[in-house]
Amino acid sequence: MTRMLWLLSMALAAVVAGTASAIYATQTLRPTGMLTIGVWEAVRAVGDASADPYAHAFLASSGQLPPGSAEGMRFVALGSQTNQLLVPNCAVELTGRVDVARLWTLTVTQANGAPLAERDARQTAVHSRDLVYQADGSFSLSIGPQPTAPNALLVRSGLPVAVVIHVYDGAITSLPDSGEAALPFVTVGTDGAGCPA
Amino acid sequence: MSDNFLYAPQAKQREHGAIASAVGLWCGLTLLATIVVHLLVVFALPSIGRGVQIDDIIPPGEAAPRLYTGLAGEALPSFRYDDGRTDSVYCSFDLRDGAVRVSGNLDVPFWSISVHTLSGLVVGSVNHNATSGGGLDLLVMRPALAVDLARAGAQLPRDSLVVEMDGPLGVVRISGLATYEALRSRLRQNLSQTECTLATFTFTNPNASDETDGSGTGTPDRSGPPQVPQPLPRPDALTPSQN
């Protein structure tokens, strides 16, 4: 009886700890092969056949269909430069340039990647040729209920969102890990209820 | 009395030692079992936790290949972090039925096509630079079939791109960039004209198969046309009348 309890407790602990650690590793930890530029993360070498088992599991459980290498790369930002959540009602602003590609798009989604509801936003995506640029090639774009920059996506939501930049350029996949490429800075305003002071 | 007095600490020590070794054994075995369970779950997640949306693409019993266009009220899957300025149609396939051919003439500024397993892994991808004039002709097949076709001297469609894939089930995503929102409906119409069918092959030299018959036995087969695996109905795809 004692031996049975001993075995049962061992099996139970192993199942609980093994499952919990596997789910934590695949859902919370970032898989190897991620490319990080500032607050932007891209799933480089995660979606292809060379992906490690953890990346494979991360991908399978995340509901993504990552772009292939011939399709470019997808950068996702979930927070600002100062680690604040991107809440549109607090006026999210992107400034800078996307110098890793000439053709790119910018999309606002829910934080988990699902599309925004139509009642929250009339337009959720812009194309690199839709924007107004400054003389030095940089741009600024606001995401919020009121336009605060020359370019704006009018989104009304008190919940955090994700900003996704898709770059359509085959050469992007050869970028090194170091931050040689530039992507826009992301800031969050402080005015409004529930916004960071 | 004196014996007991001398014996008691040793007995206690032995008892403590036995408990410590039992606990150590329990911890060690539990750690090993935890590692095994952890690896099992990690390797099983792509199968048991495959993207819910991908499950929607190929409902159980659905005939493949099939093109999902989102037209006429048809539900179209939406994947996480998808580009809001592109439009996509999806071709689901089952390579147990044979090779799949995706073809069309994409008249859009930027298009791309990617082949994915059901768990989302990218098997292959091409973009508009891969072909001239927007013509698209893609074949997806299992490596064994590709070898058999090569041995049998099959004539592949001219300028076709071939993607080899081990697993039987998957999905092809055909995407186009909507440079202007006003063009989105036209883009979808254009993408929806893509064809997603089982591939057929012609053999110009039937006697070219002088190595094997594809069964791996190495037996020369010169008596007839090359034996290339042909599409067979799967047991789960049979209708009641066929049963």
In a mutational test of the B interface, the residue from A15, A19, A41, A65 whose CB has the highest number of chain B CBs within 10 Å is A65
Task: Please judge whether B37 and A108 are an interchain contact, meaning their C-beta atoms are less than 8 angstroms apart.
Answer: no
Query: Has the ipTM of the complex gone over 0.85?
Result: no
Are A165 and A182 in contact, with CB atoms under 8 Å apart?
no
Nearest CA in chain A to B24: A10
Does position B220 have pLDDT exceeding 60, yes or no?
no
pLDDT in tens, B121-142: 888 888 887 776 667 888 999 9
Contacts with A, B 34-63, CB within 8 Å: 34-43, 45-47, 49-54
Chain B residues inside the 8 Å CB shell of A112: 80
**Residue B228, min C-alpha distance to chain A (Å):** 27
**Residue B97, min C-alpha distance to chain A (Å):** 23
Question: Highest mean pLDDT: which of A6-15, B134-143, B193-202, B210-219?
Answer: A6-15
Pairs of CB atoms within 8 A across A/B: 184
Instruction: Identify which of B89, B79, B86 has the alpha carbon closest to the alpha carbon of residue B118.
Output: B79
Rounded Cα distance between B16 and A176, Å, is: 57
Residues 6+ apart with CB under 8 A from A93: A140, A141, A142, A143, A148, A149, A186, A187, A188, A189
In this structure, the dihedral spanned by the alpha carbons of residues A129, A134, A140 and A141, taken in order and rounded to 10 degrees, is -40
Contacts with A, B 169-188, CB within 8 Å: 171, 173, 175, 177-179, 181
pLDDT in tens, A75-115: 999 999 888 899 998 889 999 988 878 889 999 999 988 88
pLDDT in tens, B154-164: 877 777 888 88
Are A161 and A87 in contact, with CB atoms under 8 Å apart?
yes
Cis, peptide link before residue A53, omega less than 30° from 0: no
User: Which of left, alpha, beta for A104 (phi over 0: left; psi -120 to 50: alpha)?
Assistant: beta
pLDDT in tens, A56-66: 787 777 778 88
**Residue A4, min C-alpha distance to chain B (Å):** 12
Q: What angle do CA A106, A112, A117 make, to 5 degrees?
A: 70
